[in-house]
Amino acid sequence: MMLFLVLLIVAEILFRSVWSVRSCFRSKCDFSPIAALKVRKIVSATDIGFTRFDELLGYVPREGFSATINANGWHGDNVTIRKDGFRSSGSEPPPLPADVLVVGDSFTFGYQVSDNETWPACLERKLGRGVDNGGVYGYGTAQALRRAFLKLAKKSYTTLVLSASLVTPEGDFERDRLNYRQGWPKPAVIRTKNGIEWSAVPDPNTPGTKTNPREALYFVYERSEIVAGMLDLSPGYINGVAEGLTTVHPNAVDVNQIVDWTLRKFSELEIENKMLLLQYSRLDWDTPDVAERRKLILGIANELSLKVIDTYDVLRKGKENELWYPEEHHTPLGNEVVCSYLFEQGFSKQITTFTPHSPSTIQVKAPALDRR
C-alpha cells in the first residue's frame, strides 16, 4: 500500500509538470498545479468555478470572473463574465449598447472557445452593435427562456434569439425535466393545479450537489489530477463529485409537452423581433430521434408563426472534425458557420418559414425585422 501511494505521488508530480509545460505551448504558462497542493476547488459557499447559485435559475455565470481555462476539453481559452452576468465578446466596451439578447445552453455560451470565438461575439461584429450573450452551460431551453424573461424585465431589447440544442439522449428539452443535473439545482417544467409552469429551485445543499458532495473521494479529487481525471471519465459515477446528483422532478411533464409549452411561452413574449435558433451537437446529432424532435419543433413553430433558424442543413455541408471538437461543442469555425447563417437568415431582408410537410423549405415572405 505504501509503495502504491509513493508511486501515485511520483506520477502526480510528473503529470502536473507535463501539464504545466503543455500550457506554455497552448497559451500562457500556468504553473498553478505545481505551486499549489489543490489543483481544483469546486466547492465554496456560493461560487463554484465561474458559476454561482441563483435562487430562480439554479445557477448563473459568476459576475466579474476572468481567467484562462486549461481544464479538460478547453484549449487555453479566455473566459470573461462581465459585471452584468453576460459573457464578454472579447470587445470591451461593446461597439454600441446591446439591443440583441441571446439565450441558450453551452453552445450559446461558447463552451471550449475564447470570448471572441463564440457565435454571439461573431454576430456582434457582423451587426456592428452590442449583443448580450446570456447563454449558460447545461441549461435546458425552458430554463434559458426563463433567464430571458428575467433579463427582459430589467432591460429593453429589439431582438431575442432563443437557442435550443437537439441531441440524444439528453437534449435541452430533456434537461427541463430535471430538478438536479450533475450536482446543479435547477427549475424543472412541471404540472401543478394551475397548469404547466416552472418549479421552484430545490435546495442547493442537498447531498450530492456541487456545494455538498458528501463524497469520501472529494479530498483526493481536489488534490490529484490523476484521480480527478479517472473519476471525470467514469460514465457510471453519477452521485459523486465528478457528475453529481441528477434527478427528474416528480411532477415533470413529458418532453413533447415541454417543447409545446416552451415555444408557446416564447411566442407570447412582447418583443419586436424574436427567433428560435436550432443547434446540434456532434454526438448522435444525425439520428431518427433528433429528426423526430426537429419535426415536432418546426411544426409547432409553424403553427405559432415563429421565425426559426435551423442550422441542420448548413452544418451538414461541413466536415465534422472542423465544425465540432471531439467532446461535443463547436470549434471557432463551427461557431462562425452558425453565426453567418443566423445573420443571413435572421438579420437580412428575408425570413425563413417552414411548412409541416417540408421543414427545410425557405420562403421569402416579408422583411425579417417586420415580423412579430
- pTM for the model stands at 0.78
What architecture is domain 79-167+256-370? 3-Layer(aba) Sandwich (3.40)
Between helix 141-152 and helix 255-268 the angle, nearest 10°, is: 20
Q: How many Cβ atoms sit within 10 Å of the Cβ of residue 366?
A: 11
Nearest residue to 44 (alpha-carbon basis) of 182, 244, 211: 211
Question: How many angstroms separate the Cα of 2 from the Cα of each of 6, 9, 183, 224?
Answer: 6, 11, 34, 17
Q: How many Cβ atoms sit within 10 Å of the Cβ of residue 282?
A: 20
Question: How many angstroms separate the Cα of 352 from the Cα of each of 87, 348, 365?
Answer: 28, 10, 8
**Residue range 5-27, pLDDT digits in tens:** 666 667 767 766 776 666 676 55
Q: Are 132 and 85 in contact (CB under 8 A)?
A: no
The kind and range of the H/E element at 334 are: helix 332-346
The kind and range of the H/E element at 108 are: helix 106-109
- 330 DSSP assignment: B
Q: From first to last of its 372 residues, what are the pLDDT tens digits of the chain?
A: 566 666 666 776 776 677 666 667 655 676 666 665 655 554 343 446 788 999 999 999 999 999 988 777 788 899 999 999 999 999 877 667 899 999 999 999 999 999 999 999 999 999 999 999 999 999 999 999 999 999 999 999 999 999 999 875 678 999 999 999 988 999 999 999 999 999 999 999 888 787 776 555 566 666 666 666 665 544 333 333 445 789 999 999 999 999 999 999 999 999 999 999 999 988 767 788 888 999 999 999 999 999 999 999 999 899 999 999 987 899 999 999 999 999 999 997 533 333 333 333 333 232 232 322
Q: What angle do CA 150, 136, 60 make, to 5 degrees?
A: 60
Question: What are the residue boundaries of the structural domains of the chain, listed by start?
Answer: 1-36, 38-69+178-253, 79-167+256-370
Main-chain phi, psi angles of 348, to 5 degrees: -110, -165
